[in-house]
């Protein structure tokens, strides 16, 4: 293994931070090329390799030709990796950070305390707050190397429960926030019909309620056509997401999954989040959640089971046989005391495993990845035999599997895929001294977010020397909004 990319000199002096082009800037008119010290091309880092993209920002070639190496933009002291894909986010949860950590309820259950704060904020949050929080959290994603997000959007109505004149207004605001920040977004339009299993449609608080099956389908179609008309198809697109089996009756879930299939969209569902869910589902339908979905032909490659924590071995087999995806959200799972998805069992069965930042209590997908592995180690579960190299498996989850879950074009630096990548400083104390063989494990298990230098999406630079061009306005607006929002609480 070639180790010559190890930096031997002092790191280059960082350029002034405001050099990043404004998000929304057009693609470069001609070919772009980059030459980092090393580039991750899938399972290994390669040294002395430049890569190039066309005017549409798609990778066209890799080269070691001296003329190409000379022509490419030199990224000295840096390694380039494919952009991370965050398969599950609730952007507006960003307003709750730090405000749910006191265990004030008698039961000391962090999940119940979080739910109380969440329900309070839903009753007072404005459209402006939603937009500002989305910009804030999407910028944080770029700062952590994420280039594509799956936004599971379930805040559909006004805080008082009445509908917006344009029913998809808030979803459109979240799309606009992503576009301004410059991150790719698959917006998963949520249906939310009732409070829980065996309750009536309409029993859910007004801000979430999305109405009948027909209304949900009309809303999904209106949002899909709006996105197609206003944005590039690989930058902003839609999917559908019944909130959960408790929140949406089975007939409505079947209709939404059929709609997704007919339009070649992805569909996501919170499932097996809590241990009690299996009993509640069995009481209504006579089956556990995954068994019920499989029985109705709903578990397939387009399906992502979000959370997927309390799975039986049969559930794991069903997800694996269908090549479905489970999205684990370990930081949130730890924060709320929920647990994490059985990563290795799912992989061994043939299912994909993606990662999500979920409640945005902390935005760091690599930390999510390492928590999955640490959970297994703490529980002293034996290895399934599939993943003797957890760093590679976890990085795959944070990239390739996430892209598959969302139907996104990125996830790997390959010819034909977009030039979506982030760079890390090889001089950063958290990973300094790594060689080609140990660099990925160093990044997955130890990288500090500050080591992330540049982020490029479709060959357009979104982060330069760890800073976004709109950093000041995004943070400033968010801070003002937080002050206003919580003053009224």
Binding site for Zn ion (CB under 5 A): 358
Q: Of 281 and 305, which has the nearer Cβ to Zn ion?
A: 305
- For the CB of residue 244, give the shortest distance to Zn ion in the complex, in Å: 9
**Closest-CA residue to 185 (of 138, 132, 136):** 138
Q: Of 315 and 358, which has the nearer Cβ to Zn ion?
A: 358
Q: In the bound complex, which residue of the shown chain has the CB atom lying closest to Zn ion?
A: 358
Q: Of 49 and 84, which has the nearer Cβ to Zn ion?
A: 84
The count of C-alpha atoms lying within 13 angstroms of the C-alpha of 467, restricted to the half-sphere facing its C-beta, is 13
Question: What tokens were used for 17?
Answer: 């931070």
Contact 78, 425 (CB under 8 A): yes
- For the CB of residue 315, give the shortest distance to Zn ion in the complex, in Å: 18
Contact 486, 98 (CB under 8 A): no
- For the CB of residue 466, give the shortest distance to Zn ion in the complex, in Å: 28
Question: What tokens were used for 70?
Answer: 């000379």
- For the CB of residue 186, give the shortest distance to Zn ion in the complex, in Å: 14
- For the CB of residue 238, give the shortest distance to Zn ion in the complex, in Å: 17
- For the CB of residue 270, give the shortest distance to Zn ion in the complex, in Å: 6
Give every CB contact of residue 84 below 8 A, 6+ residues apart in sequence: 144, 145, 146, 147, 148, 365, 366, 398, 399, 402, 422
Q: Of 144 and 357, which has the nearer Cβ to Zn ion?
A: 357
Q: Of 37 and 358, which has the nearer Cβ to Zn ion?
A: 358
**Closest-CA residue to 118 (of 149, 163, 88, 154):** 154
- Residue 70 in 3-state DSSP? helix
**Closest-CA residue to 454 (of 462, 443, 445):** 462
Q: How far is CA 288 from the centre of its chain?
A: 27
**Closest-CA residue to 147 (of 95, 122, 182):** 182
Q: Of 180 and 358, which has the nearer Cβ to Zn ion?
A: 358
């Amino acid at each position: 293994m070639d180790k010559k990319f190890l930096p031997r000199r002092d790191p280059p002096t960082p350029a002034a931070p405001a050099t990043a082009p404004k998000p929304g800037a057009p693609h470069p008119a001609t070919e772009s090329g980059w030459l980092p010290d090393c580039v991750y091309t899938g399972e290994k880092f390669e040294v002395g390799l430049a890569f190039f993209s066309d005017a549409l920002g798609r990778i066209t070639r890799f080269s070691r030709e001296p003329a190409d190496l000379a022509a490419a933009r030199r990224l000295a002291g840096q390694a380039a990796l494919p952009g991370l894909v965050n398969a599950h986010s609730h952007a507006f949860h960003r307003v709750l950070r730090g405000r749910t950590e006191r265990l004030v309820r008698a039961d000391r259950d962090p999940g119940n305390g979080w739910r109380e704060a969440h329900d309070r904020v839903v009753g007072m949050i404005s459209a402006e707050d939603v937009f500002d929080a989305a910009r804030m959290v999407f910028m944080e994603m770029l700062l952590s190397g994420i280039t594509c997000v799956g936004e599971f959007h379930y805040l559909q109505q006004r805080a008082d429960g009445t509908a917006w004149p344009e029913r998809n207004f808030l979803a459109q605001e979240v799309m606009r926030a992503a576009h301004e920040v410059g991150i790719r977004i698959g917006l998963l339009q949520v249906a939310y019909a009732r409070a829980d299993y065996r309750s009536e449609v309409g029993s859910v608080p007004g801000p979430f309620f999305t109405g009948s099956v027909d209304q949900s389908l009309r809303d999904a179609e209106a949002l899909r056509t709006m996105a197609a008309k206003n944005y590039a198809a690989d930058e902003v697109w839609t999917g559908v997401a019944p909130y959960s089996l408790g929140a949406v009756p089975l007939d409505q879930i079947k209709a939404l999954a059929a709609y997704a299939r007919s339009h070649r969209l992805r569909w996501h569902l919170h499932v097996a989040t809590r241990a009690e869910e299996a009993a509640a589902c069995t009481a209504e339908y006579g089956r556990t959640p995954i068994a019920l979905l499989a029985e109705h032909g709903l578990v397939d490659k387009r399906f992502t089971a979000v959370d997927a924590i309390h799975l039986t071995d049969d559930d794991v087999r069903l997800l694996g046989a269908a090549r479905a995806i489970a999205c684990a959200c370990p930081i949130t799972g730890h924060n709320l005391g929920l647990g994490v998805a059985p990563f290795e069992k799912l992989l061994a069965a043939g299912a994909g495993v993606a990662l999500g930042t979920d409640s945005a209590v902390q935005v760091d997908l690599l930390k999510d990845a390492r928590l999955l592995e640490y959970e297994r180690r703490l529980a002293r579960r034996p290895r399934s035999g599939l993943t003797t190299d957890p760093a590679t498996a976890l990085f795959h989850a944070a990239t390739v599997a996430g892209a598959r879950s969302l139907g996104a074009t990125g996830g790997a630096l390959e010819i034909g895929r977009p030039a979506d990548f982030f760079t890390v400083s090889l001089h950063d104390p958290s990973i300094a001294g790594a060689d080609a063989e140990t660099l990925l494990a160093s990044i997955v298990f130890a990288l500090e977010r500050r080591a992330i230098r540049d982020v490029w999406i479709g060959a357009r630079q979104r982060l330069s020397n760890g800073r976004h061009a709109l950093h000041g306005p995004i943070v400033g607006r968010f801070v003002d909004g937080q002050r206003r929002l919580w003053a009224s609480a």
